């Protein structure tokens, strides 16, 4: 019997997120996969020099955990490098970006509440 709460990345169709370049996302946990109402979890696979362009999410908090690779992150006026095993937080309504500096990167992203690639949930500069 298949569990309604287990999601395998290999069974999820990837998509190219808006406002990102060289990125394939796999939505693992969300309203459409397991019925989650308060959060969304995805895995992003990103190519060198690519990633999220500057943007903010009105009313949505975001956390990123770098699984593989390295990335440069900007949150508001703060900039730093991320390495595997490190996490960062993007407050709601705060401009941010993530650019991969290694050959490739894999990042776990958590949104609360779910973002769902809804255009009204993103603001660009």
> Where do the domains of the chain lie?
26-116
Q: Find out whether 31 and 37 touch, Cβ atoms under 8 Å.
A: yes
Quote the distance between the C-alpha of residue 102 and its chain's center: 17
Q: Which CATH number fits domain 26-116: 3.40.50.1100, 2.60.120.10, 3.40.50.720, 3.40.50.1010?
A: 2.60.120.10
pTM of the shown model: 0.94
Q: State which H helix or E strand residue 37 sits in.
A: none
CA atoms of 114 and 125, how far apart (whole Å): 22
Tokens of 30: 């969300």
| CB-CB neighbours of 119 under 10 Å | 7
pLDDT digits (tens, 9 = 90+) for 48-101: 999 999 999 999 999 999 999 999 999 999 999 999 999 999 999 999 999 999
């Amino acid at each position: 019997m298949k569990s309604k709460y287990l999601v395998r990345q290999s069974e999820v169709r990837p998509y190219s997120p808006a406002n990102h370049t060289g990125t394939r996302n796999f939505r693992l946990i969300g309203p459409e996969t397991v019925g989650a109402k308060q959060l969304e979890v995805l895995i992003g696979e990103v190519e060198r020099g690519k990633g999220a362009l500057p943007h903010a999410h009105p009313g949505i908090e975001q956390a990123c955990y770098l699984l593989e690779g390295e990335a440069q992150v900007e949150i508001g006026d703060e900039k730093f490098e991320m390495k595997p095993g490190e996490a960062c937080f993007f407050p709601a309504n705060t401009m941010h970006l993530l650019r991969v500096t290694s050959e490739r990167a894999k990042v776990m992203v958590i949104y609360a509440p779910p973002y769902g690639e809804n255009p009204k949930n993103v603001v660009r500069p």
